Amino acid sequence: MGKYIIAGNWKMNKLPSETYDFVKEVAAATEGAKCEVVCCTPYVCLAEAVKAAKDTHVKIGAENLHFEDKGAFTGEVSADMLVDLGVDYVIIGHSERRQYFAETDETVNLKTKKALEKGLIPIVCVGESLEEREAGITMDLIAIQVKKAFAGIEAADAKKVVIAYEPIWAIGTGKTATAEQAQEVCEGIRKIFAELYCDKCAAEVTIQYGGSMNAGNAAELLAKNDIDGGLIGGASLKSADFAVIVKAAQ
């Protein structure tokens, strides 16, 4: 299946003054990793993170970007700015961005296209709420999110995108989807991707699970056929825990 990628999403945590030493700590703790290791940091930490990751196996990602190159968008950051810093990855459409900052399926699509255009690797998040799961419409909703995210994107570019399944009800709540629930949705995402593109494309795309993956449950989740890594929240803020998850991925 897809390339294994373990990406930490720091969210609004850690200071620029803490970043250099912590990324070095992560690099040391995950030395010899057989999967891609990524730290996605707040904008203000990116420069220090890139500096710390130089000459290590760790890649650096941002937590968001704007879909325009420049302009009167106070407080926003462009893809060119991220590329200029030396960033490799960018998270797009996280449920917290959708919930608190009016991110839509349409802006997710625009941002994904812009990231690809500029050579960044997008980590595109999809997921359902507890109400939607209980209503039995999880895969209907996921299908809409995936299809809208990839609208107008050719197969050659689509395969570069990482898809992160993050059930909203399991983000920051301490609840985690069972390994079977996570596998079921990730398998469904791969089937949707195959319908959009081809079976070979679907086999090559990386599908992560997010939603309270931690050192205790990572091995069971990552053992599933269609889970190619994780987008890690709280556990990515502790290098030892993050290292356990990275080890589980290999």
pLDDT at 136: 93
pLDDT at 135: 94
Contact call for residues 66 and 78 (beta carbons, < 8 A): yes
Residue 1 binned pLDDT confidence (cut-offs 50, 70, 90): low
Interatomic CA distance for residues 48 and 19, integer angstroms: 6
The model carries a pTM of 0.96
Residue 212 binned pLDDT confidence (cut-offs 50, 70, 90): confident
Residue 176 binned pLDDT confidence (cut-offs 50, 70, 90): confident
Each residue of 72-82: pLDDT tens digit? 999 999 999 99
**Domain coordinates in residue numbering, the chain:** 5-248
pLDDT at 211: 84
Q: Report percent pLDDT > 70 for the chain.
A: 100
In a 3-state reduction of DSSP, which class is residue 81? Answer: helix
> Who contacts 92 (Cβ-Cβ below 8 Å, separation ≥6)?
64, 65, 108, 111, 112, 115, 122, 123, 124, 125
The average pLDDT across 158-169 equals: 95
Each residue of 39-82: pLDDT tens digit? 999 999 999 999 999 999 999 999 999 999 999 999 999 999 99
How many CB atoms are located within 10 Å of the residue 43 CB? Answer: 18
The average pLDDT across 12-17 equals: 98
Interatomic CA distance for residues 195 and 172, integer angstroms: 32
The average pLDDT across 221-246 equals: 96
- Catalytic residue IDs: 94, 166
Does the pLDDT value for residue 159 go beyond 70?
Answer: yes
Looking at domain 5-248, does it have CATH number 3.20.20.70?
Answer: yes
pLDDT at 47: 98
In a 3-state reduction of DSSP, which class is residue 69? Answer: coil
pLDDT at 45: 98
